[in-house]
Chain A
Amino acid sequence: MIFFEGTDVWTVAVIAGLTVVTFITRSFFFISSEEWTLPEWAQRGLQYAPIAALAAVVFPEVLMQQGHFMPTWMDARWVGALVGGAVYFWKRNVLLTILAGMMAYLPLHLLLAW
């Protein structure tokens, strides 16, 4: 059965865990009927955690190659990400970001094998 090919219990458990994470974070303040709120320091921390997490995932993903920091500048990923980021700040549109980033990335990746 192609559907179950390569499926392992560990990954399924991680997916179940991530489902719980989505559910709890999205409905966190709807759970209790009591009037309450987070302490002030926690609310301030909440402002920074999401962008820290995204930066920690995105930058190594774009700039690292086999465990090394930019062994060569001839890498299509940082070019694509840079163009995508610039277009996002210019147009504020996810679709255009993806299209522009891919248009910078694909020729370098496919034609020059960067």
Chain B
Amino acid sequence: MFLKAENYRHPAFMDGVRDAAPQATGVAAWGLMTGVAMMNSGMSVMESIAMTLFVYAGSSQLAAIPLIAAGAPAWVILATGFCVNLRFMVFSLHLRPYLMHLPRFERLMHGYLTADMSYILFTRRFAKPGSDSDEQQTQTAFLAGNTCIIWVSWMATSLFGIYLANIIPTAWGLGFAGTLCLVSIFCSLASTKMRFFTAGVAALTAIAAYQLPLKFNILLAIVVAVILSMSLERFRKTPQGYEA
């Protein structure tokens, strides 16, 4: 967490800030467009601000916005957000050995603040968890600096986007940039042939089952795509350890 003195006074803190600064522009554009998209979907100013400040997860926010506008049941929205966020569970499994030396509350806060960009930059910089307390302290301070600049640029631009959406007419279609943000996360995840297959099955199912009430087509598409991918993966495995 970046509010702790022993983190922000540590030299590695600024190191983390500098490392993430170039990426912060992409985060800023994404935050701006999420702010605009929330307002354009008909959410109130208060709701949009609360979502920005607390949910702090662009992909699940953007996935939830059309579902909220369509009046889908709360559990469908939460389940969709959960599935979009499942990649963070993989991150926390990876980061576990780096942060387990911290008290539980601090670990949880670090986890909550570590989004895609911070995870990628942190694990790129530190291939192995710190072996003594000095190294651990350096890594924690680096992560704190990293998450700090990402958090600040997200919050500032997202709130600015909420303000901007009040001036710019919805008809201009700037909310489409929110969809483009989802397109870029989608492309960043489409890293293997198996994942392309998963995406294809999910897209076809979601479109074919579009008439289902309450946006159930999305949950159905996730379930069908994951089950099919896992069973296909079983067939593709060869003794050489065929990687998908």
Contact = CB atoms under 8 A, between A and B. Distances in A.
A81 B63 contact: no
Nearest to A22: B57
Interface string A81-114: 1001100110011110110011001100110000
Contact of B225 (A5, A41, A52): A52
Most chain B beta carbons < 10 A, residue from A44, A53, A97 = A53
Interface of B: 25-27, 29-30, 33, 42-47, 49-51, 54-57, 59-64, 66, 68, 74, 77-78, 80-93, 95-96, 99-100, 104, 107-108, 110-115, 172-174, 176-177, 179-190, 194-195, 198-203, 205-207, 210-211, 217-218, 221-222, 225-226, 229-230, 233
Given A18-B78, A27-B111, 8 more contacts: A6-B47, A21-B78, A26-B114, A30-B110, A56-B221, A59-B203, A95-B29, A102-B177
A83 B222 CA distance: 25
B172 A110 contact: yes
B217 A60 contact: yes
B186 to A, nearest CB: 5
Contacts of B85: 21-22, 25-26, 50
A7 B68 CA distance: 12
Contacts of B30: 94, 98
A4 B47 CA distance: 8
23 contacts: A5-B44, A11-B44, A14-B78, A21-B60, A22-B60, A26-B57, A30-B104, A43-B90, A44-B233, A48-B195, A49-B222, A50-B83, A51-B198, A52-B201, A53-B222, A54-B63, A56-B202, A57-B63, A59-B203, A67-B211, A85-B187, A94-B181, A110-B172
A64 B215 CA distance: 13
B56 A48 contact: no
Interface residues of A, number: 74
B195 A97 contact: no
Most chain B beta carbons < 10 A, residue from A5, A48, A81, A106 = A48
A50 B225 CA distance: 11
A84 B176 CA distance: 11
A74 interface: no
Contacts of B203: 55-56, 58-60
Contacts of B174: 102
A48 B205 contact: no
A105 B180 CA distance: 10
B54 A19 contact: yes
Contact of B86 (A15, A25, A69, A81): A25
B128 to A, nearest CB: 17
